[in-house]
Amino acid sequence: MSDTTPELLASNKCFGGWLKRYKHTSTATGTEMVFAIYLPPQAQTEKVPVLYWLSGLTCTDENFMQKAGAQRMAAELGIALVAPDTSPRGTDLPGEHDSYDFGSGAGFYVNATRQPWSAHYNMFDYVTEELPALVEQYFPVTDKRAISGHSMGGHGALICALKKPGRYRSVSAFAPITNPVNCPWGEKAFTGYLGDDREAWKAWDACELVATAKEKLPLLVDQGEADNFLDEQLKPGALEAACEAAGHPLELRLQPGYDHSYFFIASFIDDHLRHHARALG
């Protein structure tokens, strides 16, 4: 059995806590994976709850930790932040690096069923099972978990919470891809990772999952009204309709003038951290 101990890559003190990057060998992806963790000052004396952040297309673990400005409030609230990468690295599969919205940096947080992707692109299992188990084994954290994300990662956060009742105390998203079975990004990714059976895609679509969700965790979603991808790719109205039909609690906040960037995320991240802190106790 190989040693799964995370290897430290970098460490920076931040608001009295520590931001660290690690790599480890993943069984879910069959590759080395990198993740970032922010441990607030409280973690020096006690175990703290964790917010998992899933990033969007073309991102890595670094975007959120460097651009969102989340550490100040996380330190105040005593919450650890964990940001995984968005896809496996170093596999060099055919066509993996050809476009920004499939393959490298575009794992879509699904478990691929189509070759050759199914050998490595099991980001759902990695994010919901393997990484939390690793974090809870090696770091001073509790098993109280929350999840959030942006764009493709917002889609990821929603499906992780909806497909894993009891796994998370809370969920939120910024500009999520809410209805991937009906948008170009989702159709491209799902065809590649899951095949041509559109019925099978529904297992990875938040709008489909709310209809049968066993747990009705309140969804907090922020969406910029000046987002270039709003109508074609993100479709917050579809999520709103699905939640209304299912009686699923949703707070959808449309933010005038805000776009799809991390300037938008940084503007409202404190609200999301407080939302999660209330649920994490």
Quote the CA–CA distance of 270 and 70 in Å, as a whole number: 7
- Pairing of the two strands 17-25 and 32-39: antiparallel
Asked if 216 and 190 touch (Cβ cutoff 8 Å), the reply is no
DSSP output for 237-270: HHHHHHHHHHT--EEEEEETT--SSHHHHHHHHH
| Known active-site residue 227 | yes
Quote the CA–CA distance of 281 and 225 in Å, as a whole number: 32
Quote the CA–CA distance of 281 and 278 in Å, as a whole number: 5
Tokens of 160: 């992780």
Please report, in angstroms and rounded to a whole number, the separation of the first and last CA atoms in the chain: 37
Tokens of 152: 């493709």
Residue appearing with tokens 């691929």: 112
- Pairing of the two strands 170-174 and 219-224: parallel
Candidates 26, 55, 151, 172; catalytic one: 151
| Known active-site residue 97 | no
Candidates 24, 155, 248, 260; catalytic one: 260
Candidates 61, 85, 205, 227; catalytic one: 227
| Known active-site residue 85 | no
Active site residues: 151, 227, 260
